[in-house]
Amino acid sequence: MQDPKQLTTRQQTMAAQWDAHTRAEFGEHSLEHTMATMTPDPFVIHVPVITGGVGLEQVQHFYGTYFIPCQPPDTEITFLSRTVGENRLVDELIHKFTHTIEMPWLLPGVAPTGKHVELAVIVVVEFQDGKIAGERIYWDQASVLVQVGLLDPGKLPVWGAEVAHKLVDPLRPSNGLIERALPRV
């Protein structure tokens, strides 16, 4: 993480605004406080499944209907790194939860499986006049589908929670998919 003491006042304001936004989403579960951190014309794109919205009405509907109330009670966010630029902030994190409720923002149309999920996530946040103008959020959807039992890692070159575990512990073995694919001698 960048040392907060080395950030400009503008960068510190952006980081504080993003922290308030995530607190409103995951801690307070407040649509009002979440939207208060954003510009009047924001966008949200969850890249792997193309969920989110563009403009105040769509983003507010998305957050209020599909995102904020659709976080399992055991949701846990662990921040791994943060980079703050002039008008952009990038967070790398691990999102953990048990799939006990419908989560249309992540698994549209998939009934709760009761499975535990650990997901590596990258969030790119754009700012305008001190407010959040947009979010582009990336994760490995195959990893999610493996963990909820919808993809068979024995038949496809994919991993489940191992992806998140590798980010937390870089010393874990690499190249398992390659080794698994090589012919046995």
Overall average pLDDT of the 31-42 stretch? 98
| pLDDT band per the 50, 70, 90 thresholds, residue 1 | low
Quick: pLDDT tens for 118-149.
Answer: 999 999 999 999 999 999 999 999 999 999 99
CA–CA dist 166, 37 (Å, integer): 32
Q: Give pLDDT tens digits for 117-126.
A: 999 999 999 9
Span of 17-26, 71-80, 176-185 with lowest mean pLDDT: 176-185
Residue 53 lies in a domain: yes
Q: Which residue has the tokens 């966010």?
A: 77
What's the CA gap between 52 and 61, in Å, rounded?
Answer: 9
Residue 48: C-alpha distances to residues 67, 140, 145, 164 (Å): 15, 7, 12, 16
Looking at residue 18, its pLDDT comes to 97
Range of the structural domain that residue 42 is part of: 4-140
DSSP designation for 22: H
Over 80: is that where the pLDDT of 95 sits? yes
pLDDT of residue 182: 78
Q: Please, which pLDDT band fits residue 108 given cuts at 50, 70 and 90?
A: very high
Q: How confident is the model at residue 20 (pLDDT cuts 50, 70, 90)?
A: very high
In a domain, 85, yes or no: yes
Contacts of 19 (CB under 8 A, 6+ apart): none
**CATH number of the domain to which 9 belongs:** 3.10.450.50
Examine residue 65 and state whether it is found in any structural domain, yes or no. Answer: yes
Q: How many domains is the chain partitioned into structurally?
A: 1
Beta-carbon contacts of residue 74 (< 8 Å; ≥ 6 apart): 96, 97, 98, 100
